[in-house]
Structure 1
């Protein structure tokens, strides 16, 4: 049972993008799995919900389901990273009373404390572990899966112990003082009117300036962010039993066909297909 869940729900890869500012446009990411993101090289500012982090090699980011995130580039240096995704169900296989491996994901506010406050030695140890897992995953041999599980559990224990250490100072992140209250308002009013005109009147800010500071912060448009946030909310409603039409209405879509089109673009599924595969 465990090996079956592992093979289905665990992915890990190392990737490098050469001259990223010339060759790739990064979209927002929104998924239903836990993620460990290890930054190896490049010039990257990483946006998660309402916060941004200027990354340095060895930084480790932790994203849980529903946390919107995105990389933007500050230089054309080769962008290298290790990305590991795994399901909520997989971590639950190793749960114990008082020592859940999901502690580092669940015991914090949504979109906060995403960067692990690790020392240089801890970063090196964790990078070495995940590098080995990438190799084991890339070149399958007998007993590789069991070895990967053992290494993954050891890495998750280290990550949780670092996260739970309250003697460490909190990690700095960037906030745009004018942007944060607007993003908080958007989160709280996904079912309402979030047009530029409405936001201009609410916050006494010109639409052009709002779009400018959002683009500078995230590398994407405000409209794209709102769509992703609405789809994130719709996914939650669908899994709670709401109909697609009802979820569409509750998430601020005035046209059902536009909702279905946006949902498929973000998730790769229609609402019906998404529920079916999520509950399978």
Structure 2
């Protein structure tokens, strides 16, 4: 079963990790956006039913709510920089003319591949990597400053079509179509019988296949996606009763229980928390 992991108590949190161990990472998701800048290792990345083999300096872009996990092979060193990013952080870029939110837009593949020739994005990626060897008192400030530069050059590279969207990966086409159907029909009937009928599968086979490919139950995945949509609609200032039905919950009590179970607070308290960038 996929679980929510990681907590964000500020607008940006950066990690540099380099380890060599036998490790099976479980499927998981976050309530914030995440970027992984991959440097070395024998690693593939599973994102909602599709696996992508990583190459050095690939950029893994995971929007909030996406189920994912790295798969580490052998005992080679796995080195990466990970950034946890709040909506307020991206908004600050957008307000100053850098459309950073495009990085997490749905039309982009989750794996962005830098060009082979050295350019500004590759250069700042290298400098960002070296910044973790800095032991001076200002090292954290240096890392955050270079990450700002990284985001700017990444946004420019996307706008200028300088990156390759890695679309080939090991995937189950049935699951891909099913995930896309769920994403576009969150306010509809997504019960097991309804999905099984729409995709000409038996209910038992659908549930087994979905769990094997995504690590989640169908019901758990649908609830997660509906709550993520509810959070987005809260940002728009929509009424809770309207949000409840737009996200496919049959009544407010069901919505309230799902929200309380996931976020350990009421939906009304959730709306107030959204105005605070230190929420997660």
Which 5+ residue runs of structure 1 have no aligned equivalent? 1-6
- Contact preservation (8 Å) 1:27, 1:220: no
Shift of the alpha carbon at 1:182? 2.0
Q: Compare 120-129 and 215-224 and name the one that shifted more.
A: 120-129
Could you say which residue in structure 2 is the equivalent of 1:46?
Answer: 46
Matched position secondary structure for 2:233: helix
Shift of the alpha carbon at 1:261? 4.2
Match of 2:225 among 223, 229, 246: 229
Matched position secondary structure for 1:160: helix
Residue 159 in structure 1 maps to residue 154 in structure 2: yes
Could you say which residue in structure 1 is the equivalent of 2:4?
Answer: none
Counterparts of 1:105-254 in structure 2 under 5 Å? Answer: 105=103, 108=105, 110=106, 112-119=108-115, 125-134=123-132, 141=137, 143-144=138-139, 146-166=141-161, 169-174=164-169, 175-254=171-250
CA distance in 1, matches of 2:123, 2:212: 34
Could you say which residue in structure 2 is the equivalent of 1:3?
Answer: none
Matched position secondary structure for 1:116: strand
Match of 1:68 among 62, 66, 69: 66
TM score, norm. by length of structure 2: 0.74
Counterparts of 1:22-61 in structure 2 under 5 Å? Answer: 24-31=25-32, 34-39=33-38, 40-47=40-47, 51-61=50-60
CA distance in 1, matches of 2:136, 2:217: 41
| RMSD across aligned positions (CA) | 3.5
- Contact preservation (8 Å) 2:124, 2:149: no
- Contact preservation (8 Å) 1:28, 1:225: no
Match of 1:11 among 13, 32, 39: 13
- Contact preservation (8 Å) 1:248, 1:256: yes
CA distance in 2, matches of 1:205, 1:172: 27
CA distance in 1, matches of 2:243, 2:94: 32
TM score, norm. by length of structure 1: 0.74
Q: Which has the higher contact order (CA 8 A, sep 6+)?
A: 2
How many residue pairs get aligned? The number is 262
CA distance in 2, matches of 1:30, 1:239: 14
Question: Kindly tell me: are residues 124 and 234 of structure 1, through their superposed partners in 2, closer, same or farther at Cα, counting changes over 3 Å?
Answer: same
Which 5+ residue runs of structure 2 have no aligned equivalent? 1-8
CA distance in 1, matches of 2:34, 2:204: 34
